[in-house]
């Protein structure tokens, strides 16, 4: 079986650039897998974990939404932020999660509900990705 090129890029850097055997992306309409020679596809992604298999080993990457583009056996993922599981700061994610939960529980006036919920979601997903690793 062949491989496909996976590129995960954020505005600040290229997080992953590797030949992989399989990728599972967190699409807005459910997870989907991409194998080599996939048909051209453009899909929006939600906050979640992207899984890929390279040299028989599974790796996880945290994605804060964005979109994936498959073309000519290259899968490019564009996200505002993305982190390899090993690079995630678990303590920081935990703190962010507590902060977001507190904010949602207090329901202060002028609270940006959508933003706080997104922050909570990001923190929880980061923690999940870290757990996958462990």
Partner 1 sequence: MPSLKDVKMKIVGVGKTKQITKAMNMVASAKLRGAQARIERFRPYAAKYHDVLAELSRKVEGNAHPLLSEHDEKKNCAIVMITSDRGLCGSFNGNIISAAMKLAKEKAEAGMQVSFSCVGRKGRDAVRASVYEAFSAHADRMGSIDFGLASTVAQEVINGYEAMAYDEVWLVYGEFVSMGHQPPRTLCLLPLSTPGADEAGEEEAQASGEARCEYVYEPEEEKLLAELLPSYVKVQVYRGLLDTSASEHAARMAAMDNATRNCNEMIGMLTLLYNKTRQASITSELIDIVGGAEALNG
- HSE, side-chain direction, 13 A CA sphere, residue 91: 0
37 lies in the site for partner 1, by CB under 8 A: no
CA distance 117 to 121: 6
Tokens of 129: 């990705």
Instruction: Assess 40 for contact with partner 1 (CB under 8 A).
Output: yes
The CA-CA-CA angle for residues 99, 94, 10, to 5°, reads: 95
**Within 13 Å of residue 33, how many CA atoms lie on the same side as its CB?**
7
From residue 47 to residue 66, what is the string marking binding to partner 1 with x (rule CB under 8 A)?
A: -------------------x
Number of shown-chain residues binding partner 1 (CB under 8 A): 25
For residues 20 and 119, which CB has a smaller minimum distance to partner 1 in the complex?
Answer: 119
CA nearest neighbour of 17 among 106, 81, 84: 84
- Within 72-111, which residues bind partner 1 (CB under 8 A)? 76, 78, 80-81
Tell the smallest beta-carbon distance from residue 123 to partner 1 (Å). Answer: 15
Bridge partners (DSSP) listed for residue 84: 61
Q: Counting contacts by CB under 8 A, is residue 27 touching partner 1?
A: yes
SS3 (DSSP) at 58: strand
Q: Which stretch binds partner 1 (CB under 8 A): 6-14, 86-94, 103-111, 121-129?
A: 6-14
Q: Contact residues for partner 1 (CB under 8 A)?
A: 7, 9-14, 27-29, 32, 39-44, 66-67, 69, 71, 76, 78, 80-81
């Amino acid at each position: 079986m062949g491989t496909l090129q996976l590129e995960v890029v954020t505005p600040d850097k290229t997080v992953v650039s590797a030949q992989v055997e399989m990728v599972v992306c967190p699409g807005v309409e459910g997870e989907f897998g991409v194998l080599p020679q996939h048909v051209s596809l453009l899909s929006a992604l939600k906050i979640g974990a992207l899984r890929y298999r390279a040299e028989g080993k599974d790796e996880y990457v945290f994605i804060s939404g964005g979109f994936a583009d498959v073309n000519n056996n290259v899968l490019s993922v564009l996200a505002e932020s993305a982190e390899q599981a090993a690079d995630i700061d678990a303590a920081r994610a935990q703190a962010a999660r507590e902060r977001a939960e507190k904010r949602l529980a207090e329901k202060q006036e002028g609270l940006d509900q959508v933003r706080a919920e997104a922050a909570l979601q990001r923190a929880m997903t980061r923690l999940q990705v870290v757990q996958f690793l462990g």
